[in-house]
Amino acid sequence: MTRPLRIPRGPRVASLGAAALLALLLTGMVGHATHQPPRQLPVQPGSFVITGAQIADGTGAPLRTANVRVQGDTIAAVGNITPRPGEPVITGTGLVLAPGFIDTHNHSSSGLEVEPAAVSQVSQGITTVAVGPDGSSPWPVGEYLQRLRTKPPTVNVVTFAGHATIRREVIGYDYKRQATPAEVARMAALVTQAMNEGAFGLSSGLEYEVGSYSATDEVVTMARAAGAKGGMYISHIRDEADLAMDAMREAIAIGEQGRVPVQITHIKLGTVGVWGQANQAVAMVQAARQRGVDVTADAYPYLAWQSTPRVLIPNKRYTDSASVRRGLDDIGGAKNVQITRWGAHPEFVGKRLDEAARRLGVSDIEAYIRFQGDEESGMIGHAMTEDDLRTFYKQPWVMVASDGGIANNHPRGAGTFPRVLGRLVREQQWMTLPEAIHKMAGMPAARLGLRDRGTIMPGRKADLVLFDPATVIDRATFEQPRALSTGIAGVWVNGALVWNGTAVTDARPGRVLSRP
């Protein structure tokens, strides 16, 4: 269970639970400081103090104990500060206070409009999401962002412009070919339009159907347009399986030739044939960085990826038995294919493809052919190794991102950040707690150019997470992917409490953030 905050009780609130107490506390109704030094200034409206917590400030610096005052939406002071008379106080003794987690790869673009509370996101400490990844984004960008300004969610939002989204705008359904020079010019112009409307850069999903037909030069031209406006390029690369090294090399080349910062998103080695080659990938990225290419990566803390079943067949011969056999062998067999969506057979959701084949009375190959042919199909591929993931996470240029989102059928959607804190930091000690917080907050903030977020210091926006380092853990599994995490005691976005340790509050303080 989430460790309750130590909240002073008074006769007016003795019957309230811890969650209600915390909600009342931050509206200034309870929890006032008990001492009142002489000549102390009266409490400023909208301020509160968190006392006694260990501060993981987002820079990677060692933990230190300090008090933090929040004034309105801003961190006003950090250090040996004394609460003012009547100022609400939250006792953080035994807890860690960190900057809100910034998820640079999040699939909540539509979810934020359907479920603005974003429970699965804020309950794991996420305070800012970057949507529009993998080449697919809201369009037009400006209209989407305006809807979020009109009806704000709990979290802050930035968006990327999707390469495939723009490609479809220009080429339509005739996308199974390379674009003409005139079409590429039109695509670049739409990237510029999206940047002017508030996008943070260009995303691509070159492994997916629409993006896979594009030439590298097309993507370079579009990425250059994003870079000219101060944006970046973030890519689900062309292959995360047997040709992963070539695909990483292409992503680096796009950044280098387009003169734009590039991020290899959810970096992984996702088939048997490339297991154990993480050091080669690391060497490639480090060589690029040494010659001046601004390249980083992000990763999620799971050994399974989520996608459409068609990514298993690189040659796109989805009904050819030999091609399907190779694709299934590459992932270690049908037993490693977990079904997340199958419109014709909802009874198989959560099951493995080999089990579905047995129940249908067909071969694994035939089951796959039927599965991929369903427009409502989705899968999880259990095809990554712990050694490779550890190697990536230990790199100073790899940050944490979920590749999840609201109503996601992979446990990363509800559990990514607590999983890193509980399993990779506390249990397995892959990194220190300050290092992990830097990868979750300070590093992604710097990568996105969010100069007023990602660290705890005066003047920064009060996006904060208070958690118990001894108990924080993910509870989402592949069988129950939406189970909420525990150990997150409080989450604030722009100074407003959005998660009280057990539930979301009514606050919707999220903002559409702008590029610097």
- Token pair 């959701």: residue: 349
- Model confidence over 158-175: pLDDT tens digits? 999 999 999 999 999 999
- β-strand pairing of 96-99 with 54-55: parallel
- Among 5-9, 50-54, 61-65, 469-473, the range scoring the smallest mean pLDDT is 5-9
- Model confidence over 476-497: pLDDT tens digits? 999 999 999 999 999 999 999 9
Between helices 181-196 and 216-228, what is the axis angle to 10°? Answer: 30
Cα–Cα distance for residue pair 410/340, rounded to 1 Å: 8
- Model confidence over 320-348: pLDDT tens digits? 999 999 999 999 999 999 999 999 999 99
How does DSSP classify residue 484?
A: P
Residues 173-183, mean pLDDT to the nearest whole number: 97
What confidence tier does 43 reach under pLDDT thresholds 50, 70, 90? Answer: low
Cα 382–386–390 angle (5° rounding)?
Answer: 135
**pLDDT at site 20:** 39
Cα–Cα distance for residue pair 380/503, rounded to 1 Å: 29
**pLDDT at site 69:** 98
Please give the model's pTM, rounded to 2 decimal places. 0.91
Can you read off the two tokens belonging to residue 288?
A: 């690029």
**pLDDT at site 45:** 65
- Token pair 């001046």: residue: 292
Can you read off the two tokens belonging to residue 316?
A: 């796109």
Can you read off the two tokens belonging to residue 177?
A: 């070919």
- What is residue 398's three-state secondary structure? strand
Q: Is 273 exposed, middle or buried (0-12, 13-18, 19+ CB in 10 A)?
A: middle
How does DSSP classify residue 58?
A: S
What confidence tier does 25 reach under pLDDT thresholds 50, 70, 90? Answer: very low
How does DSSP classify residue 36?
A: -
**pLDDT at site 516:** 82
**Percentage above 70 pLDDT, the chain:** 91
Beta sheet of 89-91, edge-to-edge order: 74-79, 67-71, 47-51, 89-91
Beta sheet of 101-103, edge-to-edge order: 101-103, 126-131, 156-159
**pLDDT at site 294:** 98
What confidence tier does 44 reach under pLDDT thresholds 50, 70, 90? Answer: low
Q: Domains plus CATH for the chain?
A: 101-304+383-448 (3.20.20.140), 307-381 (no CATH)
**Alpha helix locations (H) across 128-270?**
141-150, 163-171, 181-196, 209-212, 216-228, 244-258
How does DSSP classify residue 139?
A: S
Whether 419 has a pLDDT exceeding 70, the answer reads: yes
**Which residues touch 291 (CB under 8 Å, ≥6 apart)?**
none
**Which residues touch 492 (CB under 8 Å, ≥6 apart)?**
70, 100, 127, 462, 463, 464, 465, 498
- β-strand pairing of 89-91 with 47-51: parallel
Sign of CA pseudo-dihedral 354, 350, 392, 204: positive
Provide DSSP, 315-373. Answer: T--TT-HHHHHHHHHHTTSGGGEEEEEETT-GGGTTSBHHHHHHHHTS-HHHHHHHHHT
Other CB atoms within 10 A of residue 176 CB: 11
CA distances from 178 to 48, 82, 175, 183 (A): 57, 64, 8, 10
Whether 10 has a pLDDT exceeding 90, the answer reads: no
Q: What is the CA radius of gyration of the chain?
A: 24
- β-strand pairing of 101-103 with 126-131: parallel
Distance of CA 157 to the CA centre of its chain: 11
Question: What is the rounded average pLDDT for all residues in the chain?
Answer: 92
Can you read off the two tokens belonging to residue 225?
A: 């347009």
